[in-house]
Amino acid sequence: MRKLLFSALALPALACLISCGPPELSPEQTMALRQAESREVQVPYAVVWAATINFLQDNYYDLGQANKDSLILTANKVKAKNDPSNELYWSGVEKNDYIVVNLTFDPIDESDTKVRVNITTTRDKGSVGFAAYGMVSSKNKKKVMPITDPAVYKAFLDNLNREIQRRWMAQQMRDGAKKK
C-alpha cells in the first residue's frame, strides 16, 4: 500500500522536478500552486474516476496511463487552432503545442475524493511521453514546461468538477430509481 501511495504521489512531483527548465517559484508560489492543483470533492472515488475519464475524452484528450487501482491517469492532446473543447484558459499554450495532463487521486473515505492535476506542455511531439512521466532525455534535451498559472488549474478543476457533479447526480438518480 505504501508503495502504491508513493507511486500515485510521485508522478506529478517528478514532472515538476525533473522537467526541463521549470520556472523558479518562491515557497509561497509553490504552496499556492500545490493548492491550486488539488480539489477535494464529496463524491466516491469510483464516480470521480469515471467522470474524469469522460471529461478528458469529451475534451479530446488521448488517454495514456489509466490505472484505477494505482490512482493514476495520464492524457495528452494537441492544442488545435480552433480547439473544440474551448479551453481558453491555457495560458502560454500555442497552436500545435502538446498538452500532457497527469492526475492522481486520493480516496479519502467512502464519500470523499481528492484529485490533483499536473499539466505540462511541449512543442515537441517526441517528448510527450517524457512529459507524461516527468523525465527529459539528456541526449535529446526535450523542452517540457510545467504550467504554473494557478488560474489554469482552477479553470480545469472547475470544469472537471462540473462533470463529476453531473455524473454523481445521475448515479444518485439511478440508485433512487432502483429502490422504488
Topology (CATH level 3) of domain 2-179: TATA-Binding Protein (3.30.310)
> What's the pLDDT at 104?
96
Round to whole Å and give the CA distance between 98 and 145.
10
Average pLDDT, the chain: 79
pLDDT at 8 over 60: no
Mean per-residue pLDDT, 51-60: 94
Per-residue confidence band for 96, with pLDDT thresholds at 50, 70 and 90: confident
- Environment class of 152 (CB within 10 Å of its CB; exposed 0-12, middle 13-18, buried 19+): buried
How do the domains of the chain map onto residue ranges?
2-179
Structure confidence at residue 138 as a pLDDT band (50, 70, 90)? very low
Strand, coil or helix: 30: helix
What's the whole-model pTM score? 0.76
The answer to whether 33 and 25 have CB atoms below 8 angstroms apart is yes
**122 pLDDT higher than 60:** yes
- 42-56, 113-127, 160-174: least confident range: 113-127
From the list 25, 28, 55, 26, the residue with the least C-alpha distance to 115 is: 55
How far apart (Å, rounded) are the C-alpha atoms in residues 2 and 68?
Answer: 16
